[in-house]
Structures are given as structure tokens and as C-alpha cells.
Amino acid sequence: MKEQSFVLNDDIDFEPKHIFECGQCFRWNVNEDNSYTGVFGENVLNVNKDKNKVVFTGICKDNIIDVCTDYFDLDRDYQEIKKELSKIDNNMKKSIEYGNGIRILNQDLWETIISFIISANNNIPRIKGIIERLSKNYGKEIVYKDVSYYTFPSPEELGKASVEDLRKLGLGFRDKRVYETTRLVLDRKIDLEKIKSMQNTEEIREILLQLPGVGEKVADCIMLFSLKRFDVFPIDVWVRRVMNELYIKNDDETKVNKKEIQALAKEKYKELAGIAQQYLFYWKRDA
DNA sequence: ACCCAGGGTCGTC
DNA sequence: GACGACCCTGGG
């Protein structure tokens, strides 16, 4: 494959640091020049923001502009989304200023399912390490500028790993969950293509919840980060913390009912709850 | 050295 | 519905 490149001009909301470090993805790494390099699908890409331009360079399976327009959701107007969210309250306004230029990536469903099963009761550096090792051991190698990169393993590729193999790669107690979820997909008990074509969010949630290791929070992340369901509101420790701090004000945040937070999020953020969640998460986790 | 928490889920009561 | 257990790692 040959290297391709294209440039995006300044009139679009695009801040690499905020996009890649807001917690939605695990395979993008910062370089010495502050650009980011990552692997998605069978593409290896470098993203470099220089003043008002964003330069995309890399090797892509198809036309780089099409690939990036899809993955980075470039046709969506984030200015408009931010305008809507800013009206809600001052907290939302501040979080948007902090995370300015966040975009929700259009990630692969399978990769997102496995990645967020691994995320359970885990920290980001370790999650990234585990996903790298899975890719290196079971994915396909792509060499770009003399550096080896590895695609995220397909269900067939990951299916070669035993529970013990997974344990050796550091998955811990998530080994069985990843193994069994892989089996369900390989055995066609779960049809990923069908899920992608489904319209009803609640129906998709029910199917995802059948997968071992997928609970409410992980299901919401999967739908937000790979199925473009902006109305879901994943609640993790950080989001519960910030919502309690700002609105609920319970003395013991661990006692705050998730149902209460869901209701509040729906009332305040409506169809944009998922994007609001990303701004809030990034804002409070970093603070 | 020890303790704690991390983008939760699962089994049990 | 609540509650504790769960692999492992980095930081206090």
C-alpha cells in the first residue's frame, strides 16, 4: 500500500489531543512532535495539527479522505452541537471549553466490544497495554516507515487464543469474558452485521447485554463509540462523581442511584447526552 | 512494605 | 436490589 495524505482546514472542530485522549479509544499514541499515530481497521494513520490545519498521513485501504470522513465523523457539525449543549448550563459550557475539538469517532463494533470488556475495573494505561498485546499476538502486521503496527484481531484471529493464552497477556479475570464473547460471535449466536443494521437502541442494548462482560455501562460505550447512539449516557466512576458533585450533591457518591443520574442526563442533555458525557468525563478526569 | 483505585460485571444472598 | 470478589499495575 502506498502512503496517502490530505489536509483539513481550520473551520472544523478538530483537536487531536482531545479526540484521542478523551477516553473513547485506546490505540492512538502521541509522538514527540505532538502528532498522534494510530491503527484502525487496516489503516495506519498519523494526525498532525499545525496551527489551523490538520494533516492526515498514512496508509489506508481505500481513499484516505473517505476513510477519515467516516472514522472522524467529519460530515457532522460539531459547532452546532456545542451551541446546543452550551445553552444547557454553565457547567456544560465550561466542560466544552475545556474539551474543545472533541469528536466522537466511528469505531469498529467488534474492536469496541472487546476493548470495553477489557476496560472493566481497569485503568487506561493497562487497557492500552492489553489491547496492544492482543493485536501484536493475533492481529496482522502492517509495516509503515519501517515500524511494525498490528491490526486489532478479527473474531477469527482472536478465536485462536485460549483462556490461558489470554490470561498470559494480562487480561486477568476478563480472560473468560473475552473468550466467551469471541465464541458467541464465531458461532453466530451474535450477529455483528445485524446489530449494525438495527434501528432501535433498546433492542441493540438487549443483544449486547447477552455478551459476557458487557453490562449497562459497557453496552452504552459500545453504542456511543461504534454505533453513533448519541442519546446514551455511560455512567462510570468519573461521570457519577461529576454528576453528583454538580447536581445531586449526595454526601456519599457511591450511594447515588444510576437511575437517578440517567433520568437527570436525559432531562438535561436529551439526544446529545453521550456527547455531553464525553465532555464531562474528559473535564473531570483530567482535573 | 502496604494500601488503594482503576471508564464494572457477575454470582449470591 | 445490595454486596463482595475479581487479575493486575502504577502511584501514594
Per-residue burial over A146-180, b = 16 or more CB atoms within 10 Å of its CB, e = otherwise: eeebbbbbbbebbbebeeebbbebebeebbebbbe
| Residue-level pLDDT at A285 | 84
Residues β-bridged to residue A28: A38
Sign of CA pseudo-dihedral A19, A20, A26, A27: positive
Distances (CA, A) of A153 to A40, A105, A219, A283: 11, 19, 20, 32
Q: Which nucleotide lies closest to A214 by the C1' atom and the CA atom?
A: B9
Closest CA-bearing residue to C1' of C5: A173
| Residue-level pLDDT at A104 | 97
Model confidence pTM above 0.85: yes
Question: Which residues 17-46 of A interface with strand B at a CB distance below 7 A?
Answer: 22-24
Quickly count: other Cβ atoms within 10 Å of residue A239's Cβ: 22
Q: pLDDT per position in chain A (287 positions), as tens?
A: 899 999 998 678 999 999 999 999 999 999 999 999 999 999 999 999 988 899 999 999 999 999 999 999 999 999 999 999 999 999 999 999 999 999 999 999 999 999 999 999 999 999 999 999 999 999 999 999 999 999 999 999 999 999 999 999 999 999 999 999 999 999 999 999 999 999 999 999 999 999 999 999 999 999 999 999 999 999 999 999 999 999 999 988 888 899 999 999 999 999 999 999 999 999 988 77
Closest CA-bearing residue to C1' of C9: A126
Alpha helices for A89-174 (secondary structure H): 90-98, 109-118, 124-138, 155-158, 163-168
| Residue-level pLDDT at A47 | 98
User: In Å, what is the separation between the CA of A126 and the C1' of C2?
Assistant: 29
Please name the residues in contact with A192: beta carbons below 8 A apart, sequence gap of 6 or more.
A109, A110, A185
User: In Å, what is the separation between the CA of A282 and the C1' of B2?
Assistant: 31
| Residue-level pLDDT at A286 | 79
| Residue-level pLDDT at A72 | 97
Residue at grid coordinates 436529551: A270
Mind listing the domains of chain A with CATH numbers?
3-75 (3.30.310.260), 109-226 (1.10.340.30), 237-286 (1.10.1670)
User: In Å, what is the separation between the CA of A213 and the C1' of B1?
Assistant: 34
Q: Which residues touch strand C (CB under 7 A)?
A: A 121-123, 125-126, 167, 170-174, 257
Contact A35, A47 (CB under 8 A): yes
| Residue-level pLDDT at A52 | 85
Question: Which residues 146-205 of A interface with strand B at a CB distance below 7 A?
Answer: 173, 177
Q: Which nucleotide lies closest to A220 by the C1' atom and the CA atom?
A: B7
